[in-house]
Amino acid sequence: MTNGNGAPLENAAPPQFNVLAQYIKDFSFENPNSPASLAAQEQQPTINIQINVSATAVAEHDYEVSLSIEGKAENENFTLFGFELVYAGVFRIQNVPQESMHPFVMIECPRLLFPFAREIVASSVRAGGFPPLMLDPVDFVGLYRQNMARQAEQQQGKPS
């Protein structure tokens, strides 16, 4: 932050970032074809994963950020397993410039939530009788940019 002449503000408070809570908001694991799905498979299953981030202001400086992860493992015959997880946290963010707030909430908050959500997915898949599913790290900066580009395209496509 500067004073308009490029010089930093002397009395500007440093940014503050606190995790107030984190929790499973919604969770489902399905093993619809057991015990047949637990038998040795001839080929590796196809695994599809979708990840989304949403945020809601809950107080002046507090935001609930939800990381939604859905996944399904299938082979050519049937579904092996499927899961849906919404893992959320409440974050207090202060002294961050308004123009930086949206990317901060949509990138940094889910980045902190992801390792916990990843462990929940791995543990539940293992408890379902399969090898643990270790999700690859997520590029939340890239995900944010994709979502912003998609929103810009939708805005341009709307009639005025």
**Structural domains of the chain ordered from first start:** 16-134 (3.10.420.10)
Q: What is the pLDDT of residue 42?
A: 84
- Which residue positions in the chain have pLDDT lower than 70? 1-11, 158-160
Give yes or no for a contact between 71 and 90, defined as CB atoms under 8 angstroms apart. no
Identify the pLDDT of residue 23.
98
* Residue partners of 38: CB distance under 8 A and separation at least 6: 31, 129, 130
Q: In the Cβ-directed half-sphere of 114, how many Cα atoms lie within 13 Å?
A: 17
How far is it, in rounded angstroms, from Cα 48 to Cα 41?
17
Round to whole Å and give the CA distance between 52 and 110.
10
pLDDT, residue 73, reads 96
